Structure 1
């Protein structure tokens, strides 16, 4: 079926439209949708990328952090105006505030909503008192917002079960699970990683450099292993978030880089190229992920994975086949998993091949987008 309808994709970070939803935008265009792309903080580069994809950028104002009833109310009013102006037929929001406020706005106008829950993050981590309070408030808002949604899509079954158990969604609603955002296999091509006993073994973490992502665990693991395995390398790609109490110390990163314990890259503008030169992907997170994009990129590239038994992460590893699942917040299991590859470098290529197969069979972006489109089609 070819639709002649207007869809509004709504997000909280405009760069994610091209980075994470570019293939979905193109897929919807081939099905006849006119695709409007709503986000805050567009810059010239992001506007250009969205237009090149065929989407129509629609800037709106959103306070991305905190809860301010007045500014949040104004966001709902602005979203209603946008939907009326562009004659939106269906709303597809993702991330917390767009899902909640977009759903409120669309409900007032009778516009069907298909929400994507991309991970529950710090808010549902329960690691601090603040997180626990935020979870209670967010659950209340989600419950009000999602009850009239046509469909709700989750990126892992743990999040779906949590929403059902906490009665945030009704069990008779149209509820679905897709395997993350998917990965474009062509953009992250497979690269065999052959190692001899004398080859350097290169671990890498790519993330926002927050404590909840387990960055400090990797730094401590590097301190422990580097003296015993001089041919080991521990690469960290990313930046500490600004104005965040959970940010990893920039000073400590730079000091460890100076003394040769880690290789600190900062932010990468070409992750595909960066990870193609490295061997094993590490993400010892205790953050509630959807399915981490960084792991999908590593799978496609053919890297073994070391990550935690967290929702969204455990779906990316077949234990002992393409990597290892470890307990969150514990340093020893991480060190043991990294030591395995240092002692058995021949396993890097074997497990990397299994990672690529998993990417092809489970996480191919074309499979994910077809699944999402089928959900939209059914609801319309």
Structure 2
């Protein structure tokens, strides 16, 4: 059975002289939908130049047409995200190495921890290839407390740190905590960049008009997995109901069946039977959520790089309530552009919601300040400019490494 398949975009087949050869960037990540939802600006940065071309290696599913609309060539490679089988990992490593040797990219951009580890091993002896390691969060692995979990954490993060120390490598993290964490394991202290996520388009995500309603609406947008803290938000709603506070919670997102921490459909349907809680499933246009909901809650239990749902709600000038974890706390300055609450603390979350429900002027001020912060540092334009500079610098380092 063929493990990967390739598709070339006919629109990109052009007669180009050797002197005009484009810099080939290969994106490697586990899921095509993740690129579409979070990393479009990277593809747009490539397509905006006449000097670069882009190819994505990922589990495509039904995302190929949308990825090709971004002017990316596609290579299907099944990352088996839910698999912990070491033989599957070795097979993945072998096939990714074959792809790298066949494609001969100038730059490989590995996105998230699993591609960083598999990709770092697959490209270890390809000195002519420049590598960008993009850490989008640490996940539960960084929180492991058992002996086995600590051993696995030590091995994985030391490997990731080792890859970043090569002269033809560059490390991108999305918040200072993740950078400091990886540097404790020996990651590079020089070839690094801090990206506040992949940026949002402030002309697309704009402030919504204030609704006239007797009831304030809260919105949650994200995957339905336990690490996101959705259950804590539901518990906070129960506490508000006991206090006699009338507020409506709207949940948008679907279970991630490839994730062992996925919330079941049965649980979501049960929550939706509770008073003032509605689960709406997935949403294609997130702006519709923030046109309806005045308050955005990101109740995650663990650090997430820089949550995109938070940035999109901020661009729409919604009142933010987020947990005090890596990523969230690096965007929200308490009482200025949002509220911070401890993770897994339903009482503190209920208190914060009650405060914003009772204070529409505070909601408005926090939302306006959050959008201002987006405009200053978190737009797609910022990301497009920054990533091209990274690609330029990592190639300079690579040429110095190989003596070109």
Asked whether the two chains share a fold, i.e. TM above 0.5, the reply is yes
Check the 8 A contact 1:17/1:37 in 2, yes or no.
no
Is 2:79 the partner of 1:79? no
Relative distance call for 1:63 and 1:259 in structure 2 (3 A) is: closer
Pair 1:126 & 2:141 matched: no
Q: Give the drift of 1:241.
A: 3.0
Q: How far apart are the structure 1 equivalents of 2:205 and 2:273?
A: 30
Contact 2:201 2:380 in 1 (8 A): yes
Which residue in 2 is equivalent to 1:112?
130
User: Structure 1: how far apart are the matches of 2:377 and 2:214?
Assistant: 31
In 1, Cα distance between the equivalents of 2:175 and 2:130? 23
**In the alignment, does 2:51 pair up with 1:36?**
no
Indicate the SS of the match to 1:63.
Answer: coil
Residues 43 and 244 (structure 1), Cα distance of their counterparts in 2 relative to 1, 3 Å cut: closer
**Could you give the per-residue CA deviations for residues 282-336 of structure 1, whole angstroms, max 9, x where no partner exists?**
1121212100011011111111110111011112212112210111121221111
Measured in 2, the distance between the counterparts of 1:244 and 1:16 equals 13
Shift of 1:66: 4.2
Alpha-carbon offset, residue 192 of structure 1? 3.6
Per-residue CA distance 1:209-245 (angstroms, 9 max, x = gap):
2232211111111112135446411111122333755
In structure 1, what is the Cα distance between the partners aligned to 2:33 and 2:64?
A: 9
Partner of 1:60: 77
Unmatched 5+ stretches in structure 1: none
Is 1:166 aligned with 2:181?
no
Residue number in structure 2 paired with 1:355: 370
TM-score normalised by L of structure 2: 0.86
Other structure's SS at 1:92 match: strand
The answer as to whether partners of 1:204 and 1:275 remain within 8 angstroms in 2 is yes
Query: SS at 2:125's partner residue?
Result: helix
Question: 8 Å contact 1:192–1:349 — kept in the other structure?
Answer: no
Residue 81 of structure 1, CA deviation: 2.1
Moved more, 352-361 or 221-230: 221-230
Matching of residues 1-380 of structure 1 within 5 Å = 4-31=22-49, 32-40=51-59, 42-44=60-62, 46-110=63-127, 111-126=129-144, 131-148=149-166, 150-167=169-186, 169-171=187-189, 173-193=190-210, 199-229=214-244, 231-242=246-257, 246-380=261-395
**Cα root mean square deviation, aligned:** 2.2
* Local SS of the residue matching 2:44: helix
Distance in 2 (alpha carbons) for counterparts of 1:3 and 1:309: 47
Q: After alignment, is 174-183 or 261-270 more displaced?
A: 261-270
Instruction: Give the match's secondary structure for 1:100.
Output: helix
Distance 1:77 1:253 in 2: 39
Contact 1:318/1:324 (<8 A) preserved: yes
Deviates more, 1:243-252 or 1:139-148: 243-252
SS in 1 for 2:208: coil
- Separation (CA, whole Å) in 1 of partners of 2:346 and 2:172: 34
Distance in 2, Cα, partners of 1:256 & 1:6: 48
Kept in 1, the 8 Å contact 2:221–2:253? The answer is yes
**Contact 2:112–2:134 (8 Å) recurs in 1:** yes
1:280, distance to aligned residue in structure 2 (A): 0.6
- Quick one: structure 1 residues 133 and 261, their matched pair in 2 at CA, closer, same or farther if it must change by over 3 Å? farther
Q: Distance in 1 between matches of 2:263 and 2:149?
A: 18
- SS at structure 2 position matched to 1:11: strand
**1: distance between equivalents of 2:84 and 2:392?**
34
Structure 2 unaligned blocks of 5 or more: 1-19, 396-404
In 1, the alpha carbon distance for the partners of 2:102 and 2:261 equals 40
Distance 1:334 1:187 in 2: 29
Task: Give the count of matched residue pairs.
Answer: 373
Distance 2:138 2:53 in 1: 29
* SS across alignment from 1:281: strand
Give yes or no for contact 2:240–2:246 (8 Å, CA) kept in 1. no
